[in-house]
Chains A and B, each alone.
Chain A
Amino acid sequence: MLIIIGLIFIFPIIWMVLSSLKLNKDVLAIPIKFLPPTWNFKSYYNVFTSQGYDFPRYFLNSVIVAIFAVLINVFLSTIAGYGFAKYKFKGNSFLFIVILSTMMIPFQSIIIPLFVLIKKMGLANSYLGLILPESLSGFCIFLMRQFIKSIPDEVIESARVDGASEFRIFFSIIIPMSKLAIISIIIFHLQWVWNLLIWPLIVITSPEMRTVPLGISLFSGVYFTPYPEQLAAGVSAIAPILLLYIFLSRYFQTSINITGLKE
């Protein structure tokens, strides 16, 4: 019974892959052809050598943005998580609630002012303009704080007694002990950044700076709709994350689990 449900969930993805390898006329032909009657591997070739759409460049852009956005996110989340978790200072709770409440500010409600801001900073249509806003995640800070809270205070105290500086404690103790949480937030944030359309859509104006989702949304033919090619582009976009998931699936689920549901 559950097998049927599982198949329903995965079915469109399978259809997508299969159809990306069909000939244009077979994708939406009647009667429905599930398997490609003739295999068309050229569709992927067409996508990546397409004249008007430089997909290899789009992938490069997406990779660059994703790597830096995730790096910055890990940096911010780990140090802030540690700061909130292990230090008692005035305003700790208040500022943490502020960070948490930014989780309630979805991109949609700030796209206009954020765009104006980025433009004023001269970062429109640039890598930084994409990376900086996309590197922030209140959820990741929350996650790190929850996780770091569970690190025993004695370990930190004894390191202090031994004369370690606060930063030394952070790098040599906290980080190694938080590997699980760090990997989880990397994966969680990575797939969000990779898949993001709305922000690149607004900020990017020149074709060579486009990211993959943006490229796909614009990808259309001049005289006819290139169905297999569009699907091939889609599969190519999903493939990296899919591969990551297959190898690291337990971290995906862990990242949602470590939300500290028992407060």
Chain B
Amino acid sequence: MKRKKNSYYYNKLQNYGYIFIAPAIIMFFIFLIYPMIYSFYLSFFDWNLVGPKIFVGFKNFINLLSDGRFLNSYKVTIYFTFLSLLIIMILSFFLALSFTANIRFKNILQSMVFLPVICTMVAIAIVWKFMFQSTGLLSYISSIIFHVKIPWLTSYTVAPYSMIFVYVWKAVGYYMVIFLAGLLNIPEVYYEAAEIDGAGFWSKLIYITIPQLKNTIILAFTSCVIFTFSAFEQQYVMTGGGPSRSTEVLGLLIYKEAFEYNKFGYGSAISVMFFITLLFFSIIQLRIFKSET
């Protein structure tokens, strides 16, 4: 018995789709979408969780724009995000490229680079905190080999870079795997044809590899921006905001405003700014990448 695709029964069957997606949609709405909306709502109030909510309109936002601490945090987060993004993307891409060639111990080496990704950030943060201490391993190396004492976590100029260093170390493996997957999907024939035409390493890279990787690059870039912008645990454990708030990223500030100073309305306003910024970046990235055909 053959059914025609347009039959009534077949169309009714498609409604089963609603049943299948329902649990997920409900859960997502309750625990992700509704909180998102509620966050916007809360940002118009002054609230310490136990007292009444006091409606203040846009006052939180106006205060934010003149709040030195918020502006500093915003700046720190943006700097952290984009510098890390740059280094991570370049490093992970070239690492992935190197791993497409046939090297001995390829799997083991790949695993070694990937290992920090799955380690608990808290544990990692503690290790690096020790290594960065003035009697720690890194300080020892830098003073013996380079004859310079680097205040890794104690100087407000150096600390942000130390954080970027650790973050990049931990994250590169993840994006390397993403790029590797994309690279392995490029058909060999393109390269062979190019080589016949006499293309060198850089030509192949620019004219074949990168265009073929467009979707991969979009994925890598957008997820890197989102994850890095949301950094929290590393800063919380390693520096608590750093010497003179030099590593106080937005994630950390939101947490402090709400759960240490009990300013839930103000914290929500920061969350709103946080989200809007992320949205803005994502839209820009999609624009940039879509326009490059």
Interface residues of A (CB under 8 A from B): 2-3, 5-7, 9-10, 12-13, 15-16, 19, 27-32, 75-77, 79-80, 82-84, 86-89, 92, 95, 98-99, 102-117, 132-133, 135-136, 138, 141, 160-161, 166, 170, 191, 194-195, 197-198, 201-202, 212-213, 216-217, 227, 230-231, 233-235, 237-238, 241-242, 245, 249, 252-253, 256-257, 259, 261-263
CB contact between A15 and one of B1, B131, B178 (< 8 Å): that residue? B131
Given that A231-B126, A234-B120 are known contacts, is A261 also in contact with B215, CB under 8 Å in the complex?
yes
The contact sample of 16 A-B pairs, CB cut-off 8 A, is A6-B109, A79-B20, A86-B17, A95-B21, A105-B275, A107-B230, A109-B36, A109-B274, A117-B35, A216-B123, A234-B122, A242-B118, A249-B107, A253-B180, A256-B177, A261-B215
- The answer to whether B126 and A108 touch across the interface, beta carbons within 8 angstroms, is no
- The answer to whether B27 and A135 touch across the interface, beta carbons within 8 angstroms, is yes
- Give bound CA distance, A191 to B114, whole Å: 13
Over the window 200-220 of chain B, the binary record of Cβ atoms lying under 8 Å from chain A Cβ atoms (1 yes, 0 no) is: 000000000000000110010
Q: Is residue B232 contacting chain A, with contact meaning CB distance below 8 A?
A: yes
For residue B258, give the distance in angstroms from its CB to the closest CB of chain A: 5
B65-122 interface (Cβ within 8 A of A): 95, 98, 103, 105, 107-116, 118-122
Residues of A within 8 A of B172 (CB): 9
Over the window 221-251 of chain B, the binary record of Cβ atoms lying under 8 Å from chain A Cβ atoms (1 yes, 0 no) is: 0010011011011001100000000000011
For residue B38, give the distance in angstroms from its CB to the closest CB of chain A: 4
Residues of B within 8 A of A (CB-CB), count: 95
- The answer to whether B255 and A198 touch across the interface, beta carbons within 8 angstroms, is yes
Given that A197-B233, A197-B236 are known contacts, is A30 also in contact with B135, CB under 8 Å in the complex?
yes
B43-66 interface (Cβ within 8 A of A): 49
CB contact between B135 and one of A28, A111, A117, A141 (< 8 Å): that residue? A28
For residue B292, give the distance in angstroms from its CB to the closest CB of chain A: 16
4 more contacts with CB within 8 A, not counting A116-B264, A117-B30, are A86-B17, A106-B226, A202-B255, A259-B219
- Give bound CA distance, A249 to B107, whole Å: 10
Residues of B within 8 A of A253 (CB): 110, 114, 177, 180-181
- The answer to whether A191 and B181 touch across the interface, beta carbons within 8 angstroms, is no
Given that A15-B137, A110-B36, A256-B181 are known contacts, is A191 also in contact with B118, CB under 8 Å in the complex?
yes
For residue A169, give the distance in angstroms from its CB to the closest CB of chain B: 9
For residue B177, give the distance in angstroms from its CB to the closest CB of chain A: 5
For residue B90, give the distance in angstroms from its CB to the closest CB of chain A: 14
Pick from B17, B169, B279 the residue with the most CB of A within 10 Å: B17
- Give bound CA distance, A259 to B213, whole Å: 13
- Give bound CA distance, A187 to B112, whole Å: 18
- The answer to whether B215 and A262 touch across the interface, beta carbons within 8 angstroms, is yes
Q: Is residue B23 contacting chain A, with contact meaning CB distance below 8 A?
A: yes
